[in-house]
């Protein structure tokens, strides 16, 4: 007997209980019927910060940017994700469904870091660029500090070559 037929054959009270349980599960904090899968196969680009090489996934489309690094359990120290927008504007990021503590570097067209923001996992607090930018590079929290990178430091790579 199929699940549908079993459901139809159970009593009215049992169907009501099953419906109530299904509805309650949707209200549980952090629970979603369709948790997003982490993006692992995006196009990649090599970026440099002085002698440090970054292997960055590239989030180009609105869908890729929206999902970002959500649901990632870990990320190697030399990896990150660069978000590419069509034109410079104030960019704001949050960490909903993002499990890793990250630092966002808000980056001008020429690769100059405008500002940095440490972001706590699974929060909806906004972290915004200090001025309009086209690029945001997310790395494991503390990576920029360990490498001595701060605002006015410069990144290089193919994304920034047209602006130089």
**91-131 confidence digits (pLDDT tens):** 999 999 999 999 999 999 999 999 999 999 999 999 999 99
CATH for 75: 2.60.120.1140
Does 112 map to a domain? yes
Tell whether 13 and 55 lie within a shared domain.
no
Does 39 map to a domain? no
Does the model's pTM come out above 0.85? no
pLDDT at position 126, please?
A: 97
Contacts of 44 (CB under 8 A, 6+ apart): 55, 56, 57, 58
**4-31 confidence digits (pLDDT tens):** 344 344 444 444 444 444 444 444 444 4
User: What H or E segment, with its residue span, contains residue 48?
Assistant: strand 44-49
Contacts of 70 (CB under 8 A, 6+ apart): 36, 38, 39, 96, 97, 98
Tell whether 81 and 140 lie within a shared domain.
yes
Confidence label for 61 from pLDDT (cuts 50, 70 and 90)? very high
Tell whether 61 and 99 lie within a shared domain.
yes
Tell whether 76 and 30 lie within a shared domain.
no
- What is the total count of domains within the chain? 2
């Amino acid at each position: 007997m199929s699940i549908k037929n079993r459901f139809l054959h159970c009593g009215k009270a049992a169907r009501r209980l099953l419906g109530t349980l299904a509805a309650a599960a949707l209200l549980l904090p952090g629970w979603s019927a369709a948790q997003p899968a982490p993006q692992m196969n995006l196009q990649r680009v090599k970026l440099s910060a002085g002698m440090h090489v970054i292997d960055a996934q590239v989030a180009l489309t609105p869908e890729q940017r929206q999902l970002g690094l959500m649901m990632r359990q870990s990320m190697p120290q030399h990896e990150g994700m660069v978000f590419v927008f069509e034109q410079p504007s104030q960019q704001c990021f949050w960490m909903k469904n993002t499990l890793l503590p990250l630092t966002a570097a808000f980056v001008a067209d020429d690769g100059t870091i405008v500002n940095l923001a440490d972001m706590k996992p699974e929060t909806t607090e906004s972290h915004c660029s200090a001025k309009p930018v086209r690029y945001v590079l997310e790395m494991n929290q503390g990576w920029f500090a360990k490498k001595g990178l701060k605002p006015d430091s410069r990144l290089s790579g193919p994304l920034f070559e047209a602006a130089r």
